[in-house]
A and B are shown apart, each in its own frame.
Chain A
Amino acid sequence: MEQSTAVVFFTGFQLRDIWYLAEAAGRTLLISIISITVGSILGCVFGWMLYSSKWLGAMTLGLVLDAFRSVPLIIQLILFFNFFPIIGVPLDPFTAGTFVLTIYTAALVANVVRGGIEAVGIPMRRSSRSLGMSYWQDMRYVVWPIGLRAVFPAWVGVALGVMKDSSLVSVLGYVELLRASQILITRTQEPFIVLAVAGAFYFALSYPLSKFSARLEGKWQS
């Protein structure tokens, strides 16, 4: 009797495995939050640079950021992970993964931000400047609030996308949610249940935020 429970313990999917997946989901959340936060700040700076500086600077920066949007993330991860040892600074999977995800986020956010600033429109800015606002006042009180509304839903889309794409860091060996479920599948041989639980975790992280953003967008539009 006791032996048979022990067999189930080692092969079947257990309650404690859910905890194992939850921890992994925590790591997914951690790497996502760091990348999204830092990437968004960088992205705002890049987006503003793309908008305001002309010619060479914008061209080079635009080209580089464009490359990050045109190459699969998985390849970016593999490239950088293998590039750092070449220049003599080998990074662990977490650091390398966070680095790439951050730049990837920045490239996507920069595009969104530039679009947002453009959406504010020159006529409106001219009118605010004519009211005697300084450049920074104009940015702070006119461009920022209006641009935010134009940008926020798209930004949420990017953020949720990065959260989901963080699953790719698993190729570097970092044990986030999806990697953890692969490990569990190997052990339990119950791929369906394990994947269903992992999927539920992702869904629970993504769905509320996407609905919230959609509702906010609807409210702003009316």
Chain B
Amino acid sequence: MEYTFQWRPVMRQLPDLLEAGFMTLQVSILAMILGTVIGLALALVRMNAPWQVRWLATTWIEVARNTPALFQLFFFGFGLGAFGINLSPFVIVLSGLTFNTAGYLAENFRGGFQAIPDTQLKAARSLGMSASQSYIRIIIPQVFRIIYHPMTNQMVWVVLMSSLGMLVGFRELTGETQFFASRTFRIFEYFMVTAIIYYFIVKIILGLSKLIAWRLFRY
């Protein structure tokens, strides 16, 4: 079978692909921020809350961790559609990624909280800080340092997961690639270029993460 690679049409679309790459970054960063906030809340709730709330948090965490991300996306897409809730592709991807990230990070947060000796809380309280002041100023900053590396991994994972947007009609990087590829039948070439773009996005995230860590954690 003779096959000639044709890269030129792909290169012509490169600006469009890069723009779609920004869409990927946007939805990933948003999902990461929301997922971090909710994940922290889930971890805190799981440590002390009435059992009904605790059960809800536990269910969230376990479902997020024990089912495929694609399943979770489908759920926010088709599943909610059964109740007449039709979300836009962007919102489907965002809620799916947030749901997943919150579940994974909640477990990381829990490990982080366990790693802080409870004498830190006692010391903060003995200085007259309220419980919430102690958590915000003393405990949580230390927890963030402990889970910084897992969080970086999660961020990479979110970017990779966002490619599932293609399957629910979201035109992020992969969805856009699929769109062009199916028009030109240059599937391999298009996806090869996109793979390279993903590779660089991931490397940039890891590099930035190192830089931020170096600025942030002087101790």
Name A's B-contacting residues (CB within 8 A).
67, 70-76, 78-79, 82-83, 85-88, 160, 164-165, 167-168, 170-171, 178, 181-182, 185, 190-192, 195-196, 198-199, 202-203, 206-207, 210
Contacts and interface: CB of A to CB of B under 8 A. Distances in A.
Interface stretch (B6-14, B90-98, B122-130, B162-170): B162-170
A144 B79 CA distance: 46
Given A75-B174, A210-B66, A171 B167 contact: yes
Chain B interface size, under 10 / 10 to 19 / 20 to 34 / 35 or more: 35 or more
A51 to B, nearest CB: 21
Given A70-B202, A72-B198, A79-B191, 19 more contacts: A70-B198, A73-B160, A74-B164, A75-B174, A75-B194, A85-B1, A88-B1, A164-B68, A164-B69, A178-B71, A191-B78, A191-B82, A192-B82, A195-B75, A195-B79, A199-B71, A203-B63, A203-B67, A207-B62
B67 A202 contact: yes
Contacts of B74: 178, 181-182, 191, 195
Contacts of B82: 190-192
Interface of B: 1, 3, 62-63, 65-71, 74-75, 78-79, 81-83, 156, 160-161, 163-164, 166-167, 174, 177, 187-188, 191-192, 194-195, 198-199, 202-203
A195 B70 CA distance: 11
Contacts of B1: 85-88
A67 B83 contact: no
A190 B62 CA distance: 24
Given A85-B1, A86-B188, A165 B198 contact: no
B71 A192 contact: no
Nearest to B157: A161
Contacts of A71: 160, 195, 198-199, 202
Nearest to B69: A164
Nearest to A170: B70
A195 B174 CA distance: 24
A13 B63 CA distance: 23
Provide the main secondary structure of the chain A interface: helix
Nearest to B181: A78
B187 A78 contact: yes
B71 A167 contact: yes
A171 B160 CA distance: 16
A109 to B, nearest CB: 16
Contact of B163 (A72, A82, A83, A203): A72
Contacts of B71: 164, 167, 178, 195, 198-199, 202
Given A72-B174, A191-B81, A178 B70 contact: yes
Contacts of A198: 71
A77 B107 CA distance: 30
Given A75-B191, A207-B62, A178 B68 contact: yes
Given A178-B74, A198-B71, A79 B195 contact: yes
B75 to A, nearest CB: 5
Contact of B63 (A86, A171, A199): A199
Given A71-B195, A86-B188, A198-B71, A207 B163 contact: no
Given A72-B198, A88-B1, A167 B70 contact: yes
A177 B164 CA distance: 17
Nearest to B72: A199
Given A191-B81, A203-B63, A75 B195 contact: yes
Nearest to A90: B1
A67 B202 CA distance: 10
A164 B67 contact: yes
A82 B67 contact: no
A72 B63 CA distance: 22
Nearest to A83: B188
